[in-house]
Amino acid sequence: MEGKFYAWTPEQLVEVLGEDDGRWAAALLEVTPAGTFEHGASTLQMLCDPDDAGRWARVRKQLFDARALRVPPGRDDKVVAAWNGLAIAALAEAGALLDEPEWIEAARGAADLLLAVHLGGGDEGDRLVRTSRDGRAGTSDAVLEDYADVAEGFLALYAVTGEEEWLAFAGILLDVVLGHFSDGEGGFYDTADDAEQLVLRPRDPSDNAVPSGWLAAAQALLTHAAYTGVAEHRAAAERALGITTALAARAPRGVGWGLAAAEALLDGPREVAILGPADDPRTRELHRLALMGTAPGLVVAVGPVGSDVPLLRDRPLVDGAPAAYVCRQFTCEAPVTTAADLKARVGPHFGSRPD
């Protein structure tokens, strides 16, 4: 039965826990006679906190020990570059927003693994492999979604940490995208021009369980251009997002990633450059608030005066205090030094688009 390892019936709970604890656990975990899954079984759901934390700890251990005697499902333990890129972005951003530094460290760890195991092929050491297992790279070439999603993860990690190497590695991957995946018409093929030759080289702009490589590449190119001012990357993103006009009216769910990127493009996207010493609490507060901004596709860079990152370059402090510059395509509003002033500028309705 599908889900047998995880699903429970009321009778099974009583068998493991006894009558009183079994009925208590069934009520707590939404295990019903009718079942919430298949064949009268239920997946465990805790919709409210237990009224007795000590009792729950004991019951949970008993259930865990009993489940360990069941035959577990097979586990797919390969590492896929694209999926890890998405996970890196999610962990970094959620870690910053929810003040969970361990999540940010997990993002760094995953990014380090991709660099150590997945990156390094090709004559210039700039090519990815798609999969690895137990720290050993597989033999399959990375496809477009791998380059785009890993670049997306590295860009998010740069925004959260201010560590410039992630921005640099994202740029390396996006150069591969433009050099080996472009279809010459504004879009992208799913496979590289030097990969295995197929009868028909696929290209698909529609999202599925994960973002399409085409639209993910457009988003990453747009973000990278906002940090670096690389006109080629912005122009490529604009061309690639043209497909959303044709598809959005007919199948908006199929181009959600592209619509989000198009909204960012229409808004600028807004670029926040935060200058100040890393150990200054005012710098950290401006950075934290910028990362919470809701403007579409907002990009955030933080670093000291004299940074080589183009968005940060040649921007001074304000009367010796850390400062935040809110810009579009490197054209900036007057800098601000307080979180209250910055907050209004990183929401959805700040100012008007420059011509």
Structure token digits, residue 25 = 């656990």
pLDDT at 350 over 60: no
Contacts of 225 (CB under 8 A, 6+ apart): 231, 233, 234, 237
User: pLDDT grade, residue 190 (50/70/90)?
Assistant: very high
| 3-state percent helix, strand, coil for the chain, nearest multiple of 5 | 45, 10, 40
| Cβ contact 158:171 at 8 Å | no
Report how far Cα 46 is from the mean position of its chain's Cα atoms.
27
Alpha-carbon distance of 59 to 5, in angstroms, equals: 17
Burial 306-320 (b: 16+ CB within 10 A, else e): ebebbbbeebebbee
Contacts of 70 (CB under 8 A, 6+ apart): 4, 5
Going from the N-terminus, what domains does the chain have, and what CATH number goes with each? 10-67 (no CATH), 79-267 (1.50.10.10), 270-343 (3.40.30)
Closest by Cα among 336, 229, 329 to 283: 336
Mean pLDDT across the chain, nearest whole number?
A: 93
Percent of the chain with pLDDT over 90: 84
Tokens 């035959």, residue located: 71
Predicted confidence at residue 355, as pLDDT, reads 40
| Cβ contact 235:226 at 8 Å | no
Contacts of 217 (CB under 8 A, 6+ apart): 144, 147, 148, 151, 174, 177, 181, 188, 240
Percent of the chain with pLDDT over 70: 97
Contacts of 211 (CB under 8 A, 6+ apart): 86, 145, 148, 149, 219, 256, 257
Predicted confidence at residue 1, as pLDDT, reads 56
Instruction: Give this prediction's pTM.
Output: 0.84
pLDDT at 354 over 50: no
Contacts of 20 (CB under 8 A, 6+ apart): none
How many C-beta atoms surround the C-beta of residue 18 within 10 A?
14
Quick: pLDDT tens for 93-117: 999 999 999 999 999 999 999 999 9
Predicted confidence at residue 2, as pLDDT, reads 66
pLDDT at 145 over 80: yes
pLDDT at 197 over 90: no
pLDDT at 135 over 90: yes
Q: Classify residue 319 as left (phi > 0), alpha (psi -120 to 50) or beta.
A: left
What is the chain's alpha carbon radius of gyration, rounded to the nearest angstrom?
24
User: Residue 332: which H helix or E strand, with range?
Assistant: strand 331-332
Closest by Cα among 239, 272, 232 to 258: 239
* Amino acid identity, position 82: A
- Residue 309 DSSP label: S
E strand residue ranges, 239-322: 270-275, 299-303
